[in-house]
Amino acid sequence: MITADKLRKEFKKTVKEPGLKGSIKSLFKPKTEKVTAVRDISFEVAEGEILGFIGPNGAGKSTVIKMLTGILTPTSGSCTINGKNPVKNRKSYVKEIGVVFGQRTQLWWDLPLRETYGVLKEIYEVPDDSYKKRMAFLNEVLELDDFISSPVRTLSLGQRMRADIAASLLHSPKVLFLDEPTIGLDVVVKDNIRRAIEHINSREKTTVILTTHDLADIEQLSKRIVMIDKGSKVFDGTIAALKAEYGQIRELSFETGTPNAVKTLDYTGHFKLGADDLSLEGEGKSVKVRFNSAAVPVSDMLSYTLGKISVSDISVKDADIEEIIRRLYEQGVDG
Amino acid sequence: MKKLKRMYRIHRIFMAQEFKRMMEYKGDFIVGIISFFLVQLSNLLFLWIIFSRVPDLMGWSVNEVIFIYGLSLIPKGIDHFYFDNLWNVGFFIVRKGDFDKYLTRPVNTLFHVLSEKIQIDALGELIMGIALVCVSIPAISADWDVFRVLAMIFMIPFITLIFTGVKTITASVAFWTKRSGNVIYMFYMFSDFAKYPASIYSRVVQNVITYIIPFALTSYYPALFILKGKDPLFNLGMPVLAAVVLMGLGVFVWHRGIRAYESAGS
């Protein structure tokens, strides 16, 4: 369905010295440097698949999505979606895709939500009867009825996001691009949106590409993820593979009354761990230790710690996605 | 034909949205109407002061000058009414990355941008222009015939495109520079020269506003034919040619610009 072949995007950036003087200088003698936002990324997505696209801020996720949706022209490389080139066949191509940028909206801000769908119906040339059916379906999945008559400016973020997703699905696209669709939403709304995406994917075989910072989005929705950092692909595979390899990292943090707790705790010696499997940092009374729970069970870690020092507060956390990516990148995994 | 029908349909829908949007904020709308009439009143007063002191301008009678002034306002007003959104492209839309929206819709981007917004304020120029033309015509002793009146009406869409073309070209600069509002402004301001007969300016200015930023073609040259029957080939042909060339260039630069569009981080 989707083939990205060595996609690359370079931007020219003007380098300015700080201050007004620097600004004036750059007005007359602009210095530019080339910034490579995306470096030769290739991947494929099958029809009906939900692909999770993750990476830290500034990794180039949005740039890739914008190239796939025809917003940006790649510097080199190419992408083909359903046999079409997004830039060359733009008008016929965009009829087959839906796009949601979580940070923006395509709704008519000042008018009741219903008006937006009326206009999009014309823009995408949706016939009257399929429009009615479609709206009924989207209503059911995304529960728009409560606020479809309210002006868009009065919608809450969660309502607006549902409305935006509905807007992107009105013309029954074959591919749906979601750029951070759950950003800033509460747990309940996040869950609703995930279920809606899942429902649409399973019912209509819609191919979905999803970027997010929330690992739960990925866990619930997609079997496969592509991870990028600094413009390069660092992981491409199933969630299970990722978890088996990198998802076993746990972070144990605690407050302690014992002086020099960090020195007292000799995890590496006791459990015979390498630097890859454990890192320890302490600052005053709080101590943080990251370790590979496949090498040492969490319970062993806890009992050893509690036996060595006095602890007043304790928490265990899954490694968050940024942490996994950081480790992947440091280890130089090649996709 | 089918394409034109679709464009007409989309345009009508965008217009309807715009009117609904204005009605959404009724208080603001009413205050806008009131201030609109105040502005028009002060413009009228200003014109009256100018023309009551200018009896005759390099061989043009005061009524002819009023005709040229009025004629320059009509296409400018039409452009301002329909195609004002280009200013937003130059100032905000590209810089903030909001142009993304247009690229993900199956509609020609330039058409979408142009037809999406209307500017009610422009009715001032339009009404004023029509009024000045209507007031001046009976007072001008020209050989009026059907052909001259038809020529005037026929020219208006083309002259409008001269304005739109210049704005499209200069707005497109934003795709490379991120912001080009002041570039639009600089070129657009040349249209002020069009309000008076071009013959009152120096040779250099005349050449600039005829051949380079050709706003003299928007009223002075057509008026030379309409009022004095002079050289229809040049006086009508040049504005039509300029309209086609400028708008064509505008469309070309616009689409080249899209390839350079960089969006904005999100």
Is residue A308 domain-shared with residue A184, that is, in the same domain?
A: no
Q: Which of A36, A65, A12 is nearest to B261 (CA)?
A: A12
**Pair B116, B15: CB distance under 8 Å:** no
Q: Does the distance separating the beta carbons of A72 and B263 come in below 8 Å?
A: yes
pLDDT at A323 over 70: no
Q: Given CB atoms, is A151 within the 8 Å cutoff of chain B?
A: yes
Q: Which two tokens stand for residue A312?
A: 């007043």
Please, what is the angle between helix B2-24 and helix A113-123, to 10°? 170
Chain B neighbors of A179, CB-CB under 8 A? 266
Q: Which of A209, A243, A277 is the last residue of a domain?
A: A243
Q: Is residue A146 part of a domain?
A: yes
Please count the CA atoms within 13 angstroms of the CA of B2 that sit on its side-chain side: 1
For an interface test with A, which of B6, B104, B107 has the most A Cβ atoms less than 10 Å from its Cβ?
B104
Give me the amino acid identity at A214: D
**Pair A110, B21: CB distance under 8 Å:** yes
pLDDT at A275 over 80: no
Q: How many domains would you assign to chain A? A: 2
Shortest distance, CA B180 to any CA of chain A (angstroms): 15
Is residue A158 domain-shared with residue A297, that is, in the same domain?
A: no
Q: Which of A196, A230, A226 is nearest to A212 (CA)?
A: A226
Q: Given CB atoms, is B101 within the 8 Å cutoff of chain A?
A: yes
Q: Which of A62, A90, A86 is nearest to A2 (CA)?
A: A86
Q: Is residue A32 part of a domain?
A: no
Shortest distance, CA B70 to any CA of chain A (angstroms): 35
Q: Does the distance separating the beta carbons of A111 and B20 come in below 8 Å?
A: yes
Give me the amino acid identity at A201: N
Is residue A211 domain-shared with residue A298, that is, in the same domain?
A: no
pLDDT value at residue A117: 96
pLDDT band at A181 (very low <50, low <70, confident <90, very high): very high
The values of phi and psi at residue B60, to 5°, are -105, 130
pLDDT at B14 over 60: yes
What's the rounded mean pLDDT across residues B88-95? 95
pLDDT at A308 over 70: yes
Q: What is the CATH classification number for the domain harbouring A171?
A: 3.40.50.300
Pair type for strands A311-318 and A207-211 = unpaired
Give me the amino acid identity at B153: I
Sign of the dihedral defined by the CA atoms of residues B35, B40, B43, B49, in that order:
negative
pLDDT band at A329 (very low <50, low <70, confident <90, very high): low
pLDDT at A139 over 60: yes
Give me the amino acid identity at B156: I
Q: Which two tokens stand for residue A28?
A: 């007359």
pLDDT value at residue A30: 79
What is the SS3 assignment for A273? coil
Is residue A257 domain-shared with residue A278, that is, in the same domain?
A: yes
**pTM beyond 0.90, yes or no:** no
Is residue A276 domain-shared with residue A164, that is, in the same domain?
A: no
Q: Is residue A16 part of a domain?
A: no
CA dihedral A317, A318, A324, A326 (to 10 degrees): -10
Is residue A254 domain-shared with residue A184, that is, in the same domain?
A: no
How do residues B92-118 score in pLDDT, each as one tens digit?
999 999 999 999 999 999 999 999 999
How do residues B32-63 score in pLDDT, each as one tens digit?
888 888 888 898 888 888 878 877 777 888 88
Alpha-carbon distance values, A151 to A140, B13, B17, B119 (Å): 20, 18, 13, 22
Give me the amino acid identity at A168: S
Contacts with A204 (C-beta within 8 Å, 6 or more apart), sequence order: A172
Shortest distance, CA A86 to any CA of chain B (angstroms): 10
Contacts with B173 (C-beta within 8 Å, 6 or more apart), sequence order: B90, B180, B183, B257
Which residue in B has a C-alpha nearest to residue A87's C-alpha? B259
Is residue A225 domain-shared with residue A283, that is, in the same domain?
A: no
- What ipTM does this complex have? 0.86
Which residue in B has a C-alpha nearest to residue A101's C-alpha? B266
pLDDT value at residue A91: 92
The values of phi and psi at residue B236, to 5°, are -105, -35
Is residue A112 domain-shared with residue A164, that is, in the same domain?
A: yes
Is residue A128 domain-shared with residue A227, that is, in the same domain?
A: yes
What's the rounded mean pLDDT across residues B8-21? 93
Q: Residue A313's domain spans which residues?
A: 248-318
Q: Given CB atoms, is A106 within the 8 Å cutoff of chain B?
A: yes
The beta-carbon neighbor of A66 closest among B25, B98, B263 is B263
What's the rounded mean pLDDT across residues A45-69? 91
How do residues B200-251 score in pLDDT, each as one tens digit?
899 999 999 999 999 999 999 999 999 988 899 999 999 999 999 999 999 9
What's the rounded mean pLDDT across residues A117-136? 95
Beta strands in A55-115 (DSSP E): 76-81, 97-101
Is residue A65 domain-shared with residue A137, that is, in the same domain?
A: yes
Lowest mean pLDDT segment, chosen from A7-21, A135-149, B175-189, B239-253: A7-21
Is residue A49 domain-shared with residue A175, that is, in the same domain?
A: yes
Chain B neighbors of A104, CB-CB under 8 A? 97-98, 100-101, 266
pLDDT value at residue B266: 58
Contacts with B15 (C-beta within 8 Å, 6 or more apart), sequence order: B115, B118
Q: Which of A243, A274, A289 is the last residue of a domain?
A: A243
pLDDT at A216 over 70: yes
- Locus of tokens 């707790």: A261
Q: Is residue A39 part of a domain?
A: no
Is residue A174 domain-shared with residue A81, that is, in the same domain?
A: yes
Tell me the DSSP string of B145-157: -HHHHHHHHHHHH
Which helix (H) or strand (E) covers residue A237, if one does? Answer: strand A232-238
Shortest distance, CA B42 to any CA of chain A (angstroms): 32
Q: What is the CATH classification number for the domain harbouring A303?
A: 3.30.70.260
**Pair A111, B17: CB distance under 8 Å:** yes
How do residues A284-296 score in pLDDT, each as one tens digit?
788 888 888 878 8
Q: In angstroms, rounded to a whole number, what is the distance separating the alpha carbons of residues A238 and A226? A: 9
Q: Which of A212, A243, A274 is the last residue of a domain?
A: A243
Chain A neighbors of B260, CB-CB under 8 A? 73
pLDDT band at A335 (very low <50, low <70, confident <90, very high): very low
Q: Is residue A162 part of a domain?
A: yes
Q: Is residue A124 part of a domain?
A: yes
pLDDT value at residue A333: 47
Q: Is residue A33 part of a domain?
A: no
Q: Is residue A19 part of a domain?
A: no
Q: What is the DSSP letter of A73?
A: -
What's the rounded mean pLDDT across residues A56-72? 91
- Locus of tokens 């009117």: B19
